[in-house]
Amino acid sequence: MTASESMILNSERSLHSGKVAAQIKEIRDAGVEVAVVVGGGNFFRGRTGGNIDKPTADYMGMLATVMNGLAVQDALLAAGCPAKLMTAIEIRDMAEGYARRKALDYLEEGKVVVFGGGTGSPFFTTDTTAALRAAEIGADVLLLAKNIDAVYSADPKQDPDAERYTELSYMDIIDKDLKVMDLTAATLCKDTQTKIYVFALKEEGNLMKVINGENVGTLIQ
């Protein structure tokens, strides 16, 4: 990537920490336009018990992403990084409703845009939200921050002979059933030609290494 490019960061790890906020600020200060999609982890999602139906559980998950989004926005602001939370579901007193043109304006102003609320509709995952927002803002790459450092042919914790991939095609994800992201998200990235980079965010400095083109994960294109 170069300083003039833009990216979406989608993480299954907590983005609330000051260390992660500092990494995001670092690449933003380098001139990269950054947007972040947050999931609903760390909160009760609704389907862990009881008879809550799928749409209701998904709406509960969307609210959880808004709570996480507020935490991410706060961490970024505390790190001295301008940030703006936008949500697909309207919660006027806490966040601004998502509008594509306004999000692009914020990115051009140098703000990190945090997307919460999923797509605003049930039955869609955070991966799909990230792929959709990446397409809408014309991001050059979708960064998937994972708990492992790359895409493997199998779980490397269970299979020591698992192959580590440095580069894959969109169809490899689908044909090999690699579980990198859900098929809706993978197909959308394929259709919009949005590059995907899978890497481990837990390693300090990895985000800047990705931006500088260092091989610390798996490129999918």
- pLDDT tens-digit readout, 198-215: 998 887 889 999 999 999
Asked if residue 1 belongs to a domain, the reply is no
Which residue range forms the structural domain that includes residue 36?
Answer: 6-220
> Rg of the Cα trace of the chain?
17
pLDDT in tens, 136-189: 999 999 999 888 899 999 888 899 899 999 999 999 998 888 888 899 999 999
> Which among 31, 41, 35 has a CA at the least distance from the CA of 143?
35
Number of structural domains (the chain) is: 1
Provide the CATH number for the domain around residue 119. 3.40.1160.10
Predicted TM-score of the model (pTM): 0.91
Distance (Å) of CA 53 to CA 46, 57, 64, 134, 140: 9, 6, 17, 29, 37
Structure confidence at residue 15 as a pLDDT band (50, 70, 90): low
Asked if residue 53 belongs to a domain, the reply is yes
DSSP assignment of 92-139: TTTSEEP-HHHHHHHHHTTPEEEEESTTSSTT--HHHHHHHHHHHHT-
Helix axis angle, 100-108 to 126-137, nearest 10°: 70
